[in-house]
A = this chain, B = another copy of it.
Amino acid sequence: MSGNSEKRGEKGPSIADRLSASIKDGRFAPGQRLVEAELTIELGSSRGPVREALRKLEADGLVELVPNKGAMVRRLSLAEAIELFEIRTELEALAARKAAGNISDTCVRARFEAEIASIWRDEPRYSTASYIAENQTFHTAIFTASLNRKLARLNQQLQLSLIMAQIGSALSTDTVLTSLYEHRGIATAILDRDPQAADRLSRAHMRRALDVVQSMPPALFRRQG
């Protein structure tokens, strides 16, 4: 029953990676059920690996797993989004402080500058999708520069991508522009080796982003929060 035989020879991305990509792309919509048998066919694999992949994605917070019911693409309630923002505020501020402390290292600085280069572009951001990607890249760059691997891993688990996927469509160009300016401020503080400013600006950025999220139409979130 191996409909596709093209994957024998190559070591392509793992099952979990492919599923993860499908979710982030929106190919699987939030709330959609993920039936093991279907994924087995879709991914050309067997139930064992599919189950393991689902467990991994659950740990990453991308899917919700209900015993004896199955898996579905996770959809955050407003309350959950707020909880995530609270945590993220602290971790992001910590990462920004540490990044500012590490930025004297030539290697760290070079990599950081390269990764955030796109924020200095002045052309307006027409596509919210591309802004979401840029936003993700920027925040990840800070966590990378913190040189705390566990912190960088937690960044993945805090589902910024999920939140953005849920509210992204409702972002105004104004919001995007403000966010961009704040990014520049944070980046400048880090490059200036100013941990205090990096901490302060990072927290201000998160607070404003939370305000934006809270002003979104409730329909974007799962009810019962």
Footprint of B on A, CB under 8 Å?
A: 48, 51-52, 55-56, 59-60, 80, 83-84, 86-87, 90-91, 93-94, 98, 148-151, 154
Contacts and interface: CB of A to CB of B under 8 A. Distances in A.
Give the copy number: 2
A114 to B, nearest CB: 24
Contact of A94 (B51, B60, B87): B87
Given A48-B48, A154-B154, A148 B87 contact: yes
The secondary-structure label for the interface of chain A is: helix
Contacts of A51: 48, 52
A94 B86 contact: yes
Contacts of A91: 87, 90-91
A53 to B, nearest CB: 9
Contact of A56 (B48, B55, B84, B151): B55
A87 B149 contact: no
Contact of A148 (B48, B86, B93): B86
A83 B48 contact: no
B90 A150 contact: no
A52 B87 CA distance: 28
Contact of A83 (B55, B87, B149): B149
A87 B98 CA distance: 11
Contact of A90 (B52, B60, B90): B90
Contact of A86 (B48, B60, B83, B151): B151
Given A83-B149, A87-B148, 4 more contacts: A52-B52, A55-B56, A84-B150, A87-B94
Contact of A55 (B55, B87, B151): B55
A7 to B, nearest CB: 17
A31 to B, nearest CB: 19
A91 B52 CA distance: 29
A80 B150 contact: yes
20 contacts: A48-B48, A48-B51, A51-B52, A55-B55, A55-B56, A56-B59, A59-B59, A80-B150, A83-B149, A83-B150, A83-B151, A86-B98, A87-B91, A87-B94, A87-B148, A87-B150, A87-B151, A87-B154, A90-B93, A91-B91
